[in-house]
Amino acid sequence: MLEVIMGSKQMSNKEVSARLAGDVSLGGQVSVHRLGFGAMRLTGDGIWGPPKDRKRALAVLRRAVELGVNFIDTADSYGPYVSEELIAEALFPYPKDLVIATKGGWNRPGPDQWTHDASPAHLRKAIEGSLKRLRLDRIDVYQLHAPDPAVSFDVSVETLAQLRNEGKIRLVALSNVTEEHIERARRIVPIVSVQNRYSFADREWDYVVSYCQHNGIVFIPWYPLAAGTVAGEVLTRMAKAHGASPTQIALAWLLQRSPLMLPIPGTSSIEHLEQNIAAASLRLTEEEYEELASVPEQMGLQGNNVAECETLVMSGGTQNSQ
């Protein structure tokens, strides 16, 4: 039995490191450990404003790096700006191997408001802002946050390709897209990763995961823990058998789903962070993997059952983008 449940109060001797999840290559250019950190929930409530406890947010980021995390996901819209600012405050000057993946094309005019703008003018301005806040000369991975229904998808991607040629971006990536979007984008510029909502219980984008694996594109599942609410009899039974937590089992399933899967569980708690990273060394048996894989079908669940508000944006983007 693996003793992998741990928080700062009960660390065992077992090594806890994102490294144990193995590595994944982004576009054949940068290699990162296959368990990253999502920095969205370090901000204030509703992903708005500064965190209640700034010191703790900074400590979580520093601890993530100590635990071997070398891929951090963020976006200009988280806060807005707060998540990027916290990353720079906590970690600049950055460790040599740290890859920060930020996003643009989705704005926050006010609390609980998210609006699209993936126009060339906005993306150019957004990238300048991210470069400044992150204190970088070039962004390693820049993700189009979501297709903008009011802007040609190709034009948004062409803008990112131009910014890459200008040296502002190293690698271009997408988020909240269909296979068709990815194929269209790849005709314009190499796409190194795709970030869509996904977990063992939430499989709307299964076919995109498979497409990515087949085409050497890293898949980054957001909402991998259904915001910490993943639960259920099967998960609990497996967690008990492994001496693990249900969230760790959910992460282990993702890591086994595809060698190009790069989960980015987010947390504002050091204890949860340590627990999540400890899942890097957890392996499910084939039977366990298959049993979890069949949960949505057995429950008659549709892919978007556990999704929050962002589903709306995704379907808006995928149905209406040009």
Ligand X SMILES: NC(=O)c1ccc[n+]([C@@H]2O[C@H](COP(=O)([O-])OP(=O)(O)OC[C@H]3O[C@@H](n4cnc5c(N)ncnc54)[C@H](OP(=O)(O)O)[C@@H]3O)[C@@H](O)[C@H]2O)c1
Q: Which residues bind ligand X (CB under 6 A)?
A: 38-41, 73, 175-176, 195, 222-228, 247, 264-269, 272, 275-276, 310
Residue found under tokens 């993530």 = 64
Tell me whether residue 48 is exposed, middle or buried, using C-beta atoms within 10 angstroms of its C-beta: 0 to 12, 13 to 18, 19 or more.
Answer: middle
**95-99, Cβ contacts within 8 angstroms, sequence gap of 24 or more:** 95/65, 95/70, 97/32, 97/70, 98/65, 98/70, 98/71, 98/72, 99/26, 99/30, 99/32, 99/70, 99/71, 99/72, 99/140, 99/141
Residue found under tokens 């502002």 = 168
| Least Å from the CB of residue 76 to ligand X | 12
| Least Å from the CB of residue 49 to ligand X | 16
- In the complex with ligand X, which residue's Cβ is closer, 78 or 94? 78
| Least Å from the CB of residue 31 to ligand X | 20
> Would you state the structure tokens that stand for residue 40, as one six-digit string?
């969205």
| Least Å from the CB of residue 310 to ligand X | 5
* Closest to 60 measured CA to CA, from 278, 239, 272, 229: 272
Taking the C-alpha atoms of residue 158 and residue 189, their distance in angstroms, rounded to an integer, is: 8
> Do 247 and 228 contact (CB within 8 A), yes or no?
yes
From the candidates 78, 81, 142, 198, give the one annotated as an active-site residue: 78
Residue at shortest CB range from ligand X: 38
Q: Helix, strand, or coil here: 260?
A: coil
| Least Å from the CB of residue 223 to ligand X | 4
Indicate if 78 belongs to the active site: yes
- In the complex with ligand X, which residue's Cβ is closer, 266 or 296? 266
Active-site residues, by number, are: 78
